[in-house]
Chain A
Amino acid sequence: GEDVEQSLFLSVREGDSSVINCTYTDSSSTYLYWYKQEPGAGLQLLTYIFSNMDMKQDQRLTVLLNKKDKHLSLRIADTQTGDSAIYFCAESIDNQGGKLIFGQGTELSVKP
């Protein structure tokens, strides 16, 4: 079945690295995504990774994918107070078009 799990909360100090973890169950996932949601706003795509890749880096963001363990992580380097938000991982399944399966979201709190 399709299921995506995330821890609910993470608190870090400004300047530290944040690591948000996600596990998924569907082995037919094609792409995995990270979205950010700030209060009162929709979801903003941060980055995505093809399921055959191990790692993707984009400025302060590093995505690691362990396909064998179905584990995805998002590392934010030099975390800033402006990074405080809810982070969602999501998977897409081949031939499912616009359907994404989202995790519950991880609320990141960055303390100065």
Chain B
Amino acid sequence: KAGVTQTPRYLIKTRGQQVTLSCSPISGHRSVSWYQQTPGQGLQFLFEYFSETQRNKGNFPGRFSGRQFSNSRSEMNVSTLELGDSALYLCASSLTGGSGANVLTFGAGSRLTVL
């Protein structure tokens, strides 16, 4: 069974640009969550999508957005990049993300560097 696949693994952008990251969940998983990991702030929840709808949202500015497609694949977009957006962006999928233990399976992450 393939795991959670994130692309690209590494990318470098300059301030003001925008970036799109992609996440393919485990087959059959309908919930996809995104997290930002930085040395200073640690792991912070960005948002969660389930059945193409944003179900939960963290405390990030509107420059951070996402979407989910009918095949459960998800993308996140960051517009007008700032130096502080440099981070490892982790995607995680789960079956439903509803009640019960929320067993998230994480991808390897997309490491974004903003110059």
Contacts and interface: CB of A to CB of B under 8 A. Distances in A.
Interface residues of A, number: 26
A99 B56 contact: yes
Given A48-B103, A88-B43, A99 B108 contact: no
Contacts, number: 72
Interface string B86-113: 0000101010011101111111110000
B15 interface: no
A50 B58 contact: no
Interface string A89-103: 010101111111111
Interface centre among A43, A94, A96 (most CB of B within 10 A): A43
Interface size class of B (residues with CB under 8 A): 20 to 34
Contact of B58 (A35, A45, A99, A103): A99
Interface in A41-57: 41-45, 48, 50
A94 B43 contact: no
Contacts of B43: 43, 88, 90, 102, 105
B48 interface: yes
B102 A31 contact: yes
Interface of A: 30-31, 35, 40-45, 48, 50, 88, 90, 92, 94-105
